[in-house]
A = this chain, B = another copy of it.
Amino acid sequence: MKNRPIGVFDSGLGGLTVVKQIKKFLPHEDVVYLGDTARVPYGTRSKETIIKFSFEDANFLLKKNAKCIVIACNTASALAGKELEKELKTPVFDVISPTLKYARSVAKNNKIGVIGTRGTIGSGAYTVDFATPCPLFVPFIEEGNVDSEALKIIVKKYLSYFDGKNIDILILGCTHYPIIQNIIQKEIGKNVKLIDPGMAVAEELKYSLTKNGLLNGQKRSGKINYFVTDLTDRFTKVAEMFLGEKIKGRINKVSVD
């Protein structure tokens, strides 16, 4: 059991920022990653559709023998997390619960803000003081347009929502956002601490696997097995941006619907 891989899914490739953190916290774990790139993004879709897609994604990972499922997508965590946790017999980790717990443990004046997709923010799953959607961040990041004047204008416009709200924590409630955290930090000011949910869920995962005797016992570094539902020429470029290193091994195209 314990030497089985950790299953991680996301609507696309943004979840690789979570895998990056899992590799850091749990270097000996194998990972099987599914990116539903044929149907990305989830952030603009309805709850009903996101639940349907998320079950299909999770079931694929279970067939790949995952010992647990990490929902490396804030939108799917927000809109389908509870349903997956209830229905599946395998442990499910969403990115939101550990992030909220961590944010509350480090907040000074307890004024917490969150940014995310329309789906995530609209769901109210991040029960914090201030929340605002930033729907254009994902397309900019997916385009690799991460340092332009246009993006800076958009960042400024979206974050102006927090003006005068005196937050001390800002949760990056979308797995894409760590890629532009420097621009966000510059705009929101250095007194606001940014939290990457990938880090929070990786820490939670380490705690839980340790407690339950489910840490992988192998000595070698963990391997990542990549599956996507659509494969384009841009895969490697975009994936490596999120993972922060070269992709090793074969990328497998699969159907999950």
Contact = CB atoms under 8 A, between A and B. Distances in A.
Given A136-B145, A143-B135, A150-B153, A230 B38 contact: no
B143 A46 contact: no
Contact of A139 (B45, B139, B149, B231): B139
A44 B48 CA distance: 24
A39 interface: yes
Q: Do most interface residues of chain A lie in helix, strand or loop, or is the interface mixed?
A: loop
A29 B151 CA distance: 43
B143 A153 contact: no
Interface residues of A, number: 32
Interface string A101-145: 000000000000000001000100000000000011011101101
A232 B122 CA distance: 11
A232 B38 contact: no
A148 B148 CA distance: 15
Contact of A38 (B45, B136, B148): B45
Nearest to A119: B232
A140 B137 CA distance: 11
A72 to B, nearest CB: 20
A153 B149 contact: yes
Interface in A139-171: 139-140, 142-143, 145, 148-151, 153-154, 157
A253 B48 CA distance: 11
A233 B37 CA distance: 24
A245 interface: no
Which one of A150, A157, A233 has the greatest number of beta carbons of chain B within 10 Å? A150
Interface string A19-55: 0000000000000000001110000111011000000
23 contacts: A37-B45, A38-B39, A39-B39, A44-B232, A44-B234, A45-B232, A46-B231, A46-B232, A48-B230, A49-B229, A49-B230, A135-B139, A136-B139, A136-B140, A136-B143, A148-B153, A149-B153, A150-B150, A150-B151, A150-B153, A150-B154, A150-B157, A257-B257
Given A135-B139, A135-B143, A150-B154, 7 more contacts: A44-B232, A46-B231, A48-B230, A49-B230, A122-B233, A148-B157, A257-B257
- Please name the 5 residue pairs, one residue from A and one from B, whose CB atoms are nearest each other, closest first: A139-B139, A150-B153, A150-B150, A49-B230, A46-B232
